[in-house]
Structure 1
Amino acid sequence: MRWSLLEWLSMPLVWLRTFVFQCGEAFRVLRYYRKTEFAVADMRLSGMYRFKSAFAECRDYLKLQGAENPYRYGETPLSTMHHIVRECGLESRDTIYELGCGRGRTSLWLHLYLGADVVGVDHVPIFIQRANKLVEVSGWERLRFRWGDIRKMDFSEATAVYLYGTGFEESVIRDVLTRLRHLPIGAKVITISYPLTDWPEGDFLELEKRFSARFPWGRADCFLHSRVWETSSHTVDLAGGALSDRSRDEPSPGP
């Protein structure tokens, strides 16, 4: 991948902006440390990457897998996740799936600070191994981490799904949509930078809200969707031969 001269010249500004954001985020995170259990867990998790960062672990794994772009790694800042939680109305009674959870810090916060049931999913083995080790020694029963391909997983128990996925290829998004189709009616799906209703496979989702949030690179749009009845146009009513627009998921009327 070759960069243009303009991209090279803009890099110092990007690095400076990221550095300033991360410094501010470090202070903002201190308020969450008032909850001792989270403070201890967060420091333990950070200690697991003291010799090699999560970015480096992800990069090296993707290189071994022959990925075209092995430099795709990012975490949602905790203060940003807090903003998303408020905007989307997530609650402690939710079962939240984080697709692409990385080392698991956001999932950890969602469980310990929000109090929700959380399942973090990622395809980098060392992330899941270390996160599950932390879960095991801490004895948390409502926080789980799963290794695997999000295009092949079952999310049917989720009441909310968080998909950071800014670097996902279009084919991956389409495949994930086929899995999200099995969500219960009313489930929430949150994405960053793009709405899933832009794809035909997202016809079972309704865009409820659009808002902005801060990330290290700047502000980004966030999209809240809800799982609704699917609509199927021009289906044949075998009884009368007429065309019907009945939902594919809607229960058929009784005899």
Structure 2
Amino acid sequence: MSYFNRLKSSVIKKSSFLHILRVGMHRIIFSIREYIYLSFSLYMKYPKLIVYDLAKFFYSLFRNPYRKLRRSPQSSLLKEGNVYGETPWSALNKVSREFGVTSQDVVYDLGCGLGKVCFWFSHILRCQVVGIDNQSTFINFASRMHRLLSAQPTVFFQENFHETELSQASCVYFYGSSYSLKVLKGVLIALEKLKSGNMVISISFPLDSLPDGDMLFYTEKSCDVTFPWGKTKAYKNIRK
């Protein structure tokens, strides 16, 4: 290996290390801030949130959802875009208020994972909620926790996004920050079934930025939200 190649390799490794360090520091700072915020606000007002968090924490010690998806046949982001991520309670609280989600809404969560978003809209906002995910272990955990903790019934289905019937939904939550374009196109096809005027909450990008998305949706408003991986925006997309 030549001197210049060794130098280039060293610079790349250093850059990768600094990036990992920055991400790690942000996660630590975020976790501290989120815990302080929850301890003096949402946990006090809605104590079942901390019960849900604790149950999810102990579950993840033995069945880490990130590891679960890495083992699955569809795990490659480049091949299928099948990834795992969760929305913090603080972000859900802000999005709900900013975008006017009410107990009258029928909310579908596409990619519900362990059911955190579903629990928020069901238990806190008293919405009718349907969770969709293609992982049976996630669906089983979410169903069990909702039966134990939420007085409001929640329905969960194990299926792929493009198979989901959304004609009954008035609000769809889609945390699609890391999904591949292939998955996003499938989601957009499913979202065509929404009635005019209904809402889709998306994270990190508006739906009208996707190919042909502007034919189906327009962005009514957005708000800043913070995730463990950094700051981004949530978008309120309205079906045309």
Q: TM-score, structure 2 length as denominator?
A: 0.83
Is 1:116 aligned to 2:124, yes or no?
A: no
More helix by share: 2
In structure 2, the residue corresponding to 1:90 is in which secondary structure?
A: coil
Structure 2: gaps of 5 or more residues = 1-10
Query: Which of 31, 46, 52 is matched with 2:54 structurally?
Result: 46
Is 1:209 aligned to 2:221, yes or no?
A: yes
1:126-162 deviation line (CA, Å, top 9, x unaligned)? 1110111223345745322222111211111111111
Structure 1: gaps of 5 or more residues = 229-255
1:1-255 map, 5 Å: 4-5=12-13, 6-30=15-39, 31-35=41-45, 38-40=46-48, 42-44=50-52, 46-50=54-58, 52-53=60-61, 56-69=64-77, 72-138=83-149, 140-202=151-213, 203-228=215-240
In structure 2, what is the Cα distance between the partners aligned to 1:164 and 1:217?
A: 13
In structure 2, the residue corresponding to 1:87 is in which secondary structure?
A: helix
In structure 2, the residue corresponding to 1:157 is in which secondary structure?
A: coil
Change (3 A) 1:185 1:177: same
AA paired with 1:20? I
Shift of 1:198: 2.1
Aligned length: 224
CA RMSD of aligned residues (A): 2.5
Select between 198-207 and 115-124 the one with higher mean Cα deviation: 198-207
1:20-41 deviation line (CA, Å, top 9, x unaligned)? 1012112222322334xx5236
Change (3 A) 1:185 1:80: same
Q: TM-score, structure 1 length as denominator?
A: 0.78
* Bigger relative contact order (CA 8 A; separation at least 6): 2
In structure 2, the residue corresponding to 1:60 is in which secondary structure?
A: helix
In structure 1, what is the Cα distance between the partners aligned to 2:225 and 2:155?
A: 26
AA paired with 2:43? Y
In structure 2, the residue corresponding to 1:127 is in which secondary structure?
A: helix
Identity of aligned residues (%): 27
Change (3 A) 1:51 1:222: closer
In structure 2, what is the Cα distance between the partners aligned to 1:44 and 1:193?
A: 26
Query: Do the aligned residues in 2 keep the contact of 1:207 with 1:223 (CA within 8 Å)?
Result: yes
